[in-house]
């Protein structure tokens, strides 16, 4: 299935006790404020690390701190199937996105993009 996708977010998953310090550190390191999502207060973000990539700090409910990547796609199922053909595995569907594992066991996510935001100027087209 023809679709577009791109690496869009670097996500730092942070244990609850380190969340505030992590936000303060990355705001200082980047010289940019991190904005808290209104509907999801566990997320703070900046969308402009570069032209197409943002940083997201996610407060975990439990677990150890780690980093993962978010791919955005205009057809999540097509992108998940493409990545499975390369060796990735589905772990869990959360709302409209998939948590996956790459061949080395590292976690990443495939997230739906906002309609009309991905095209040949800012993403890769997969046929």
Terminal Cα distance for the chain, rounded: 6
Q: In the CATH scheme, what is the code of domain 3-126? A: 3.10.180.10
Q: 62 falls in which pLDDT band (50, 70, 90)?
A: confident
Domain chopping of the chain, boundaries: 3-126
Predicted confidence at residue 41, as pLDDT, reads 87
* 112: three-class secondary structure by DSSP: strand
Q: What pTM was computed for the model?
A: 0.86
Q: What is the mean pLDDT of residues 94-113?
A: 95
Residues 6+ apart with CB under 8 A from 7: 53, 69, 70, 71
Rounded Cα distance between 113 and 21, Å, is: 30
Q: What is the pLDDT of residue 40?
A: 86
Answer for the pair 12, 56: CB distance below 8 angstroms, yes or no.
Answer: yes
Two tokens, residue 48: 């402009």
Q: For residue range 18-49, what is the model confidence (pLDDT) as tens digits?
A: 999 999 999 999 998 999 988 888 999 987 77
């Amino acid at each position: 299935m023809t679709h577009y996708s791109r690496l869009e977010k670097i996500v730092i998953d942070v244990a609850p006790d380190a969340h505030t310090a992590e936000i303060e550190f990355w705001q200082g390191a980047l010289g940019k404020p991190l904005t808290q999502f209104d509907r999801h207060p566990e997320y703070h973000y900046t969308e402009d690390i570069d032209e197409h990539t943002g940083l997201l700090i996610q407060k975990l409910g439990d677990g150890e701190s780690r980093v993962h990547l978010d791919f955005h796609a205009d057809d999540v199922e097509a992108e998940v199937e493409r990545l499975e053909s390369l060796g990735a595995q589905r772990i869990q569907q959360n709302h409209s996105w998939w948590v996956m594992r790459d061949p080395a066991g590292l976690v990443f996510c495939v997230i739906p993009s906002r309609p009309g935001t991905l095209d040949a100027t800012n993403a890769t087209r997969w046929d």
